Chains A and B, each alone.
Chain A
Amino acid sequence: MIQPTKNTMKIYINFDINVACRTVVLEQLLTLGIPYESQDLAEIVIPDKVPPEAFSQLQKNLKRYGIEILNDQKSQLIQRIKNTIIEMINQDKLPASKISLYLAEKMNMNYSYISTLFSEFTHSSIENYIILQKIERAKKLLLQELSLTEISYMLNYSSVAHLSGQFKKTTGLSPSVFKKIIDGRKRRVFTT
Chain B
Amino acid sequence: MIDEEKMNIILADDDEDDRNVFKQAIEELGLNIELEIYKSGDELLDYLNDPSKVELPHILFLDLNMLCIKYDDCLKDLRKNPKFQDMSIAIYSTSTSEKDIHETFIGGANIYINKPSDFEVLKKSLREVLKINWQFHTSGLSKDTFLFSI
B57 within 8 A of A: no
Q: Are B147 and A181 in contact (CB under 8 A)?
A: yes
A121 within 8 A of B: yes
Q: Are A188 and B106 in contact (CB under 8 A)?
A: yes
Q: Report B-chain residues with C-beta under 8 Å of the C-beta of A132.
A: 132, 135, 139, 141
Q: Are B138 and A122 in contact (CB under 8 A)?
A: yes
Q: Are B102 and A177 in contact (CB under 8 A)?
A: yes
Question: How near does chain B come to A38, taking the closest CB pair, in angstroms?
Answer: 20
Instruction: Write the A74-98 contact mask toward B (1 if CB under 8 angstroms, else 0).
Output: 0000000010000000000000000
Interface residues of A toward B: which range? 20 to 34
B149 within 8 A of A: yes
B29 within 8 A of A: no
Q: Are B148 and A181 in contact (CB under 8 A)?
A: no
Q: Report A-chain residues with C-beta under 8 Å of the C-beta of B141.
A: 132, 136
Q: Report B-chain residues with C-beta under 8 Å of the C-beta of A1.
A: 80, 82
Q: Report B-chain residues with C-beta under 8 Å of the C-beta of A124.
A: 1, 131, 135
Decide yes or no: A173 and B147 within 8 Å by CB, A66-B140, A136-B141 being known contacts: yes
Question: How near does chain A come to B113, taking the closest CB pair, in angstroms?
Answer: 10
A153 within 8 A of B: no
Instruction: Write the B116-142 contact mask toward A (1 if CB under 8 angstroms, else 0).
Output: 000000000000000110010011111
Q: Are B148 and A182 in contact (CB under 8 A)?
A: no
**Contact with B149, one of A133, A173, A184 (Cβ below 8 angstroms):** A173
Decide yes or no: A182 and B145 within 8 Å by CB, A121-B3, A123-B2, A172-B112 being known contacts: yes
Q: How far is the CA of A143 from the CA of B102 in the complex (A)?
A: 17
Instruction: Write the A152-190 contact mask toward B (1 if CB under 8 angstroms, else 0).
Output: 000000000000000000011100011011101100100
Q: Report B-chain residues with C-beta under 8 Å of the C-beta of A172.
A: 112, 147-150
Q: What are 10 contact pairs spanning A and B, CB under 8 A?
A: A1-B82, A129-B135, A136-B145, A143-B145, A171-B148, A172-B147, A172-B148, A180-B102, A181-B105, A188-B107
Which residues of B pack against A, CB within 8 Å?
Answer: 1-3, 80, 82, 102, 105-108, 112, 131-132, 135, 138-142, 145, 147-150
